[in-house]
Structure 1
Amino acid sequence: MRLPVFSLAVGAFGIGMTEFVAMGLLPDIATSLHVSITAAGLLISAYALGVVVGAPTLAALTRHLKPKPVLTLLMALFTLGNLLSAVAPSYPLLMLTRLLSGLPHGAFFGVGAVVAARLAPRGREAQTMALVFLGLSFANVVGVPFGTWLGQTFSWRVTFAVVALIGVLSALGVWRWIPDLDNNQAGGLRQQLRAFRNPQLWRIMAVTVIGFGSMFAAFSYVAPLMTEVAGFRAAAVTPILMVAGLGMMAGNLIGGRVADRAPRRATLALLAALAAILVVLSFAAHGPVTAVVTLFLFTTIAFSLASPLQLITLQSARGAETLAAATNQSAFNLANALGAFLGGLPIAAGYGYTASALVGAGLAVAGLLIALGLRDAPRPSLQPAEAPTAPAYARGGSGGA
């Protein structure tokens, strides 16, 4: 992995850590701030709301700036939000700082995806974008368990302070290693919004919300699925989640490769595979070994879907790639909310934890039906105009570090 992409992956690691670590620290936060677990859980919703609102808003407000200062400013805002979370003296203020922390999330991934694609050799755009998102999945393997341990051993405030430090490191790396690319976004905001007249973009957003929502319908309830159905003890949930995180990492890498070859066909095949593996999971969850193996395959397939969706988004939004990519990040978070809500309905109705996997399978099929209407978009050149004189790492590929 080259240094510019590595600096973006570090930022993605910090974002993934702060997004998911709060789930494991809810009891500690609730006790510290004298609120209920339910109230503390709203902090997760506040972060998600920040992502949904901030992604298109910040992308639009910074559209006239070059990518390098935009990414640096977004990481600075992310750092500030987490630093303020670490010192927030009350629940209302922590709610506000979590909202602030979520604002730069989608815009960072939107701008970062475009930058990664512009630095990639032609034909390897999705693979390079996948390396950025690898930081997000790596956070689930290492960052979230470490942050949870840190918060439970010392204080949840220490965890947010560490995330802020990661934000500082990413901002410094972005400023040092990202080349000074020109702003290739066409015209003003009104002109960029015209890209959203393309029905393909809205179809992609729908596939993201519904099709990727299938992942969250099942994964949101993976802990009780493993303990109540597969028969694991509660202490085994953390290593099981690490296995799921390894699947996410594998999926990122696989998705990048298949997307570069044929993003539309990859999307259709992965949605079909996702529906099938969720049906299998509903049966395999009754055995501990089969449950873990199927969980790994499930997260691998689910996260393979992200790169094709991102690449089709960029290909379908000429002149407004950053705004479209950031908006698609909002769609991913809507998928999180929708999937978790729908996946919980049959559980609340008494049908058991395996029912959420079947709901996920249904959402994957619905996403597949919508995706059948996608068309192969022309592959525009995302390379910077100064590519012939770009630094060696921008021309030489995105190989491993």
Structure 2
Amino acid sequence: MAYVLTGCVAVIGSNSLGLGPIAPEVARSLGSTVPTVMMAAAAFGLGTAASALFLARHIDRIGSRRMLQIALALLAAALVLSALSPMVSVLIVSQLIAGIASGIALPAIYSSAAAIAPSGRESRTIGVVLTGWTLSMVVGVALSAVLADFVHWRAVFAAIAILALAAIAMLSISKYREVLATESAPLPLEALQIKGIKPLLIACGAFMAAFYGIYGYLGDYLHHGLGQPVSANGLAALVYGLGFGAATLLDNVVDRLGARRVMPAAFLATGVVYVSMALFGGSFTMLLIAVFLWGLANHFGLNVLIMRLSAIDPARRGTIMGLNSAVTYLAGFVGTAAFAPLHTEFGFAVSTFVAAGLMVVAVLAAASRPTEAIVHTVQSERQLQ
């Protein structure tokens, strides 16, 4: 089941990351411009955030597997519409629908990953599922460019749609069964009152804003700042993906030490990587080394974040993971927009220092222990005694 969920993440990631490399060809084919085509990517992000916030809360009551199947079916339909788009406006609408589907699918995937994990192997199970992002970045993005070059850009969306249908079939024959929640799904604002969730969502927002703020302009810095060819952008993405995937081999460390201990350290390590980018980013080789370490640290950060959020209230995992995805994509939107003037006016080094500052916020939030959570823990211990 973990490998099926990994494939589901890879399908979603291939769509969300695949438009960028083929955008010039899409623009040429539809008689538009690359910025206009990339509005489809923006629509995808907003659709994902909105559905994760307002629809993912029903996962606990309906069931994560069923919701995931529904979401993947909607995603497949949106991808077919993307492949058939006669104009950019249709592509934008289809990617908005794809985003709505992904905003349900991702929380369902993370909820399922936490539910199927054997006791004591939570980090390793979630780590396997997260390698779907590595597959989408290393394999999906590369194959998208190849398909666009040798077949057609429409073949990219058609191929991902086929993979989505294959994922639905695999979920249908899996033996995974789950216990459904009997209570009605809480509203988004009500869910924020769940004990211990606010500091983790703050950490998530700071972590993701820093990531998207740097990743979104890394390619521009490589090309214009270091004078590297455009192909260097693909190399950087590959190196990041390899670092992210390599961290899976060390996920057993998290299971031994515990997510609460590892989380501040993972965020602190990410902040140190951002500082190293500022100090040594003038060298392409040193920057690639930092990008590899960045992928490594980000894997641990995302892994422990999902572990801690999903452990807060197992009966409401879908709702909590929906809030996580909503904050992730809103932070991505805000981070990309906020870092644009920083990158343009002050340069890449200043941007990385700001990202490091955001990671300090994430460390403090991760290390905090809300009063209500302490009271709840003490009461639980007294009941056990």
Q: SS state of the match for residue 88, structure 1?
A: coil
Q: How far did 1:192 drift?
A: 9.1
Q: Which amino acid aligns with 2:82?
A: S
Matched, 1:337 2:348: no
Q: SS state of the match for residue 119, structure 2?
A: coil
Q: SS state of the match for residue 277, structure 2?
A: helix
Q: How far did 1:178 drift?
A: 4.3
| Counterparts of 2:359 and 2:369, CA distance in 1 | 15
Q: Which has the higher helix share?
A: 2
- 1:317 to 1:260, Cα distance in 2 relative to 1, 3 A: farther
Q: Counterpart in 2 of 1:322?
A: 318
Q: Counterpart in 2 of 1:155?
A: 152
Q: Counterpart in 2 of 1:297?
A: 293
Q: Counterpart in 1 of 2:81?
A: 84
- 1:194 to 1:37, Cα distance in 2 relative to 1, 3 A: closer
Q: Counterpart in 1 of 2:41?
A: 44
| Counterparts of 2:48 and 2:208, CA distance in 1 | 17
Q: Deviation digits for residues 98-120 of structure 1, max 9, x if unmatched?
A: 01111122322212222222222
Q: Which amino acid aligns with 1:287?
A: S
Q: How far did 1:255 drift?
A: 5.2
Matched, 1:208 2:208: no
**From 106, 117, 120, the counterpart of 1:109:** 106
% identical equivalent positions: 21
Q: Counterpart in 1 of 2:283?
A: 287
**What is the TM-score with the length of structure 2 in the denominator?**
0.90
Q: SS state of the match for residue 183, structure 2?
A: coil
- 1:372 to 1:117, Cα distance in 2 relative to 1, 3 A: closer
Q: Which amino acid aligns with 2:202?
A: A
Q: Deviation digits for residues 18-41 of structure 1, max 9, x if unmatched?
A: 001111121112222222222112
Q: Counterpart in 2 of 1:393?
A: none
For the 8 Å contact 2:197–2:312, the answer to whether it is kept is yes
Q: Counterpart in 1 of 2:368?
A: 373
For the 8 Å contact 1:240–1:292, the answer to whether it is kept is yes
Q: Counterpart in 1 of 2:383?
A: none
Matched, 1:137 2:134: yes
Q: SS state of the match for residue 297, structure 1?
A: helix
Q: How far did 1:369 drift?
A: 2.4
| Counterparts of 2:163 and 2:145, CA distance in 1 | 16
Q: Counterpart in 2 of 1:385?
A: none
Q: Which amino acid aligns with 2:9?
A: A
Q: SS state of the match for residue 105, structure 2?
A: helix
Q: Which amino acid aligns with 1:165?
A: I
| Counterparts of 1:11 and 1:154, CA distance in 2 | 24
Q: Counterpart in 2 of 1:386?
A: none
For the 8 Å contact 2:60–2:317, the answer to whether it is kept is no
**What is the TM-score with the length of structure 1 in the denominator?**
0.87
Q: SS state of the match for residue 302, structure 1?
A: helix
Q: SS state of the match for residue 11, structure 2?
A: helix
- 1:256 to 1:195, Cα distance in 2 relative to 1, 3 A: farther
Q: Counterpart in 2 of 1:388?
A: none
Q: Counterpart in 1 of 2:303?
A: 307
For the 8 Å contact 1:47–1:98, the answer to whether it is kept is yes
Q: Counterpart in 1 of 2:120?
A: 123
RMSD: 2.3
Q: Which amino acid aligns with 1:299?
A: G
- 1:291 to 1:321, Cα distance in 2 relative to 1, 3 A: same
For the 8 Å contact 1:66–1:180, the answer to whether it is kept is no
- 1:312 to 1:36, Cα distance in 2 relative to 1, 3 A: same
| Counterparts of 1:111 and 1:117, CA distance in 2 | 10
- 1:69 to 1:251, Cα distance in 2 relative to 1, 3 A: same
Q: Which amino acid aligns with 1:364?
A: M
- 1:315 to 1:193, Cα distance in 2 relative to 1, 3 A: farther
Is there any run of 5+ residues in structure 1 with no aligned partner, and where? 380-401
For the 8 Å contact 2:214–2:339, the answer to whether it is kept is yes
| Counterparts of 1:300 and 1:109, CA distance in 2 | 21
For the 8 Å contact 1:125–1:260, the answer to whether it is kept is no
Q: Deviation digits for residues 332-357 of structure 1, max 9, x if unmatched?
A: 112222222232222221x2223322
Q: SS state of the match for residue 220, structure 1?
A: helix
For the 8 Å contact 1:214–1:361, the answer to whether it is kept is yes
**From 350, 356, 359, the counterpart of 1:361:** 356
Deviates most, 218-227 or 44-53: 218-227
Q: What count of residue pairs does the alignment treat as equivalent?
A: 374
- 1:191 to 1:84, Cα distance in 2 relative to 1, 3 A: closer
Deviates most, 223-232 or 87-96: 223-232
Q: How far did 1:16 drift?
A: 0.5
Matched, 1:246 2:246: no
- 1:203 to 1:165, Cα distance in 2 relative to 1, 3 A: same
Q: Deviation digits for residues 232-280 of structure 1, max 9, x if unmatched?
A: 3223332232111111212455457426632122111111111111111
Q: How far did 1:314 drift?
A: 1.3
- 1:326 to 1:190, Cα distance in 2 relative to 1, 3 A: closer
Deviates most, 68-77 or 161-170: 68-77
For the 8 Å contact 2:191–2:319, the answer to whether it is kept is no
- 1:132 to 1:81, Cα distance in 2 relative to 1, 3 A: same
- Runs of 4+ aligned residues of structure 1 deviating over 3 Å after TM superposition are 190-195, 228-231, 251-257, 374-379
Deviates most, 220-229 or 308-317: 220-229
Q: Which amino acid aligns with 1:34?
A: G
| Counterparts of 1:198 and 1:301, CA distance in 2 | 28
